[in-house]
Amino acid sequence: MYTLYMSRVKNKSKMLQFPIPLEEVPTKKNGQTTENFIDFFGNEYTFISGIKPLEFSISTWIPKVGVTYPFQVVKNPNPSDYTRLLYMAFNDLEPIDIVVCDANGKIIIEGSYSISTFDEGVNKFGDTTISIDCKQWRAY
């Protein structure tokens, strides 16, 4: 099990721990930026021009108010605290800080990420579902 923490970059004092542990580490997508060039003789050359930002997706859920599960790590979470953090960062066009740790506290993912997409829903039990596509944020 993996623990997910999230905060707004502008307000790191309000770090939220997600109540339900992640079952697996998000798959990280890495890549290089390349450019192709064809010379006068028709030979194609590929040049590496940079490194693409790290990308991954997180899917989790937050129990509805008043429900507690035995595997839950945060008691009495308010789903709106989590969705508000994400909506505020998304609407203010700012990145979020994300930390994912294993059961021993070893950091697996840490850094600032933009929210490429953010989906919120409610499952058949009334729990809030959240899916976030993240892309590594780099200051320019």
pLDDT in tens, 3-57: 999 998 877 678 899 999 999 888 899 999 999 999 999 999 999 999 999 999 9
DSSP state of 2: B
Q: Looking at this protein, which amino acid is placed at residue 121?
A: G
The phi-psi region of residue 38 (left if phi > 0; otherwise alpha if psi is between -120 and 50; otherwise beta) is beta
| Number of other CB atoms surrounding residue 28 within 10 Å | 13
Strands 11-17 and 44-51: unpaired
Strand-pairing partners, residue 131, are: 59, 119
Q: In whole angstroms, give the CA distance from residue 8 to residue 1.
A: 24
Task: Specify the DSSP element, H or E, that contains 101.
Answer: strand 96-101
pLDDT in tens, 17-32: 999 999 988 889 999 9
CATH topology of domain 3-136: Pnp Oxidase; Chain A (2.30.110)
Residue 58 to residues 28, 66, 109: CA-CA distances in angstroms? 10, 24, 12
Q: What is the pTM of this model?
A: 0.82
